[in-house]
Structure 1
Amino acid sequence: MDGLRAGSAVAVAAGLGLAATAGAATLGFVIARKLTAPASGRVFDLTVRGVMRREERDAVVLDRTAGTEAAGIYNLWLEGGGWVKLGPVIDHAAGTVTRLVDSVDPKDALSVGRRASWSGIYFRDPADAGLDAEDVVVETPAGPAPAWLIRPTVTATKVWAIHIHGMASPRAGTLRGVHVAADAGLVSLVVTYRNDGEGPEVGSSRSTLGATEADDVRAAARYAIAHGAERIVLFGWSMGGAIALQVAADPEFRSVIDRLILDSPVLDWNATIAANCARAGLPPQAGVLVRPWLERGPLARVVGLSSAIALDRFDWIARAERLSVPTLILHGTDDTSSPPGSARRLAQLRSDVVQLKTFHADHTLGWNSDPNRWTTLALNWLTTRFRQS
């Protein structure tokens, strides 16, 4: 009898263990699918609660969130079309904030009840940023990738800047840094890459977290060199930072890539996945469940990827000794997506080549929180040496 009970207990425990294992595997699969999902449209999760005149300017009342009450300048994308540039907060209420409106396009777009999406992407396109751009095409291994070629109004140097946007963000997001490059006399190439919603579409349209996207940026670097670039600066935002680091480490470009400016870069995908699990309300440890679905070929193909992703190649804490290009990191201390701790650790490990400057801001919103300081830091990083180019 006792033996039968013991056997039953073992069987029950084994059954529970298998169920837990299956549940963990399923969770890892779901997170992997979410992480690599094809580019999609914006989520309009805010409602315009009021529009009024304050301080001889229009002002808008919005639901109070960590984003809408943050210091700085931002944008509202209006559902159905419309673009609202917002200035500072001028009033707080229990559940709302009131911000001054800097501009609205079209002028009649802003009205009570409109659904909106909060964004740090401040310029809609080069013209909106006051920049003259030429539409060019970079031939990449994935196919033709549209890009903006922006020449400075001052005398151009033979240094080019390649601006690399992040996951689920359009290339327009990098225009916040193009002004800096232009002021330093750099020619800017604002690129797209495979499966970002603007570049060529391949396979299942899923992101490979920078692994194959880096090949398209390598093609952009070759384009710059073929068109007169003698040195290249890489501006990388979020996953664009991870791509920039991959390209900078490539022996092909070791003599030409001069320095990096990285905003909220992904420096370790494992830490980043854990942080995003926590942000989604899951235990950070759930990130471990994702790795097999990304790193093992058969499982990666089930997720929808054409091949496995070597996540360790993106761990620049472990690979810190491989860094050789001077790098400025601009990172928000409130970043809930790309852990600021990784940036601090890398700056400590490689203080000889990495400089870290922090902002009281969330992911890729340092410029928005303090445009003047962001611009000054980046421009100083460039012009210290490039004035003599």
Structure 2
Amino acid sequence: MLGALAALSLAFGGLGYVIARRVTAPVGPRRFDLIVRGVDDSGETPVVILSRTAKTEVVGKFNLILESGAWVRLGPEVHDVGAGLVGRDVEQSDVPPSLVPGVRASWSGIYFRTPADAGLHARDVETITSAGPAPAWLIPPDEHESGDWAIHIHGLGSSRAGTLRGVQVAAAAGLTSLVVTYRNDGEGPRVGSGRSTLGALETDDVDSAVRYALEQGARRIILFGWSMGGAIALQLASRSGVREHLAGIVLESPILDWVETIKANCARAGLAKWVGALAVPWLNSKTLSRILGLAAPVRTEQFDRVSAEMRSSFPILLIHGTADTSAPFELARKFAQAHRSVELAAVDSDHTLTWNPEPGRWRARLSLWLSSLGTGPT
């Protein structure tokens, strides 16, 4: 009996280790799991033919990243071009020569590859973190500068380019934007095993970016956090030296509770939801997290924002997809109910894809909220 219990305990511990390793995995190569079935050049706009999947049949603006490295921006319409196939319009004049039938590709909600693609003028700068220099884009507002700065924080496994959808709105609202990187995100400094601490140490790196903004003359700070970047933004909001300058927070598909998020993703993968809790000791224990390859324990309890009290009440715009398969919408709803300062905008979309179905509506909602803060030139 004791042997059976020991074996069961060992098995559960091993499963928790595997899940924790998966969650904190270093940034890996992009998966090219689509094949271009054809390209129709007969009309005014080329149409890419793809297999119909849960992603490719969604109405909205998306990107097709080819194995060659080229990006192909796609329009919002979905054309039915045959059994099991969809057609998507190419929304750019410079069609890459590598866009041919048979090429492998990857689907992405990141629409702009560079600030220039988004019509923005950026300057490359560095913020100095304890992990080393972290590259960032410094982007001025469209017109007159002010003392209002936006710090844009991307999510786990994503890139800073994903935040450019929000930078466009910030620039139009008169905000100077700092689009940051942080340790082990694939662009910032690589440290140790390259694993993520899910915001535990990454928050320190973004804290350095906030201080850079203040040294450059920022008077008020607005944090824009995407996915794990949202968890980082909420951590920063409680820190002395940041909260005194904070005017508001924009959260796009934020992680509001790591434990519940891991459980939900286990359930989506076909496992029992409770299995996700087996990863928690590996993430929280100083000894086990070191075995896992982490530079510091995560301490998941500090990222439970749903049940925690906020020390200060900042205006928060929370944009979240009701069909989010990574960060449960139910957590966003509970968070908004628990905090009066939170304005929840629900969109029928998946994780960090609330911009893509209706960019104009997304921009208008964010612009209106920013104007309520009195941002821009005074």
Q: Which bin holds the TM-score, normalised by the shorter protein?
A: over 0.9
Identify unmatched segments of 5+ residues in structure 2.
none
Matched, 1:162 2:151: yes
Deviation track 1:32-79 (CA, whole Å, cap 9, x = no partner) reads 111111111210001111111365311111121111111100001100
Q: TM-score, normalised by structure 2?
A: 0.96
Q: Which runs of structure 2 are paired with 1:316-335 in the superposition (5 Å)?
A: 316-322=305-311, 324-335=313-324
Please list, as runs of the form range in 1=range in 2, the aligned pairs for 1:253-268 lying within 5 A after superposition.
Answer: 253-268=242-257
* Superposed counterparts of 1:176-325, under 5 Å: 176-322=165-311, 324-325=313-314
Specify which of 50, 71, 91 is matched with residue 62 of structure 1.
Answer: 50
Paired residue secondary structure (2:41): strand
Letter of the aligned partner of 2:147 in structure 1? K
Residue 70 of structure 1 aligns with an amino acid whose one-letter code is: V
Structure-to-structure mapping, 1:1-389, within 5 angstroms: 11=1, 14-53=2-41, 55-87=43-75, 88-91=77-80, 93-103=82-92, 105=94, 107-322=96-311, 324-350=313-339, 352-384=340-372, 385-386=374-375, 389=378
Given the superposition, is the C-alpha separation of residues 140 and 57 from structure 1 closer, same or farther in structure 2, using an over 3 Å criterion?
A: same
Query: Could you tell me whether the CA contact under 8 Å between 1:194 and 1:201 is conserved in 2?
Result: yes
Percent identity for Structure 1 against Structure 2 = 54
- How far the C-alpha of 1:321 sits from its partner, in A, is 4.0
Question: What residue ranges of structure 1 are gaps of 5+ in the alignment?
Answer: 1-10
The Cα shift of 1:103 comes to 2.2
Does structure 2 conserve the Cα–Cα contact (< 8 Å) formed by 1:329 and 1:354? yes
Q: Deviations over 1:224-281 (max 9, x none)?
A: 0000100000000000000000011112212101100110000000111112112222
**1:356 counterpart letter in structure 2:** L
Q: What does residue 7 of structure 1 align with?
A: none
Secondary structure of 1:241's counterpart equals helix
Q: CA deviation at 1:194?
A: 0.5
- Structure 2 distance, partners of 1:250, 1:166, is 20
Q: How far has the Cα of 1:307 moved from its partner?
A: 2.2
Q: Distance in 2 between matches of 1:290 and 1:92?
A: 45
- Over the aligned positions, Cα root-mean-square deviation in angstroms equals 1.4
State the SS of the aligned residue for 2:169.
Answer: helix
1:305-360 per-position Cα deviation (integer Å, ceiling 9, x unaligned) = 1221111110011114435211101111110000110000011111x200000111
Alignment CA distance shift 1:256-1:118 (3 Å): same
The one-letter code of the counterpart of 1:293 is: W
Q: Following TM superposition, by how much is the alpha carbon of 1:287 offset from its aligned partner in structure 2, in angstroms?
A: 0.7
Alignment-mate amino acid for residue 365 of structure 2: L
Which amino acid in the other structure matches residue 253 of structure 1? V
| 1:15 Cα deviation after fit | 3.3
Partners of 1:358 and 1:74 lie apart in 2 by: 20
Aligned residue identity for 1:333: T
CA contact (8 A) 2:148 2:376 kept: no
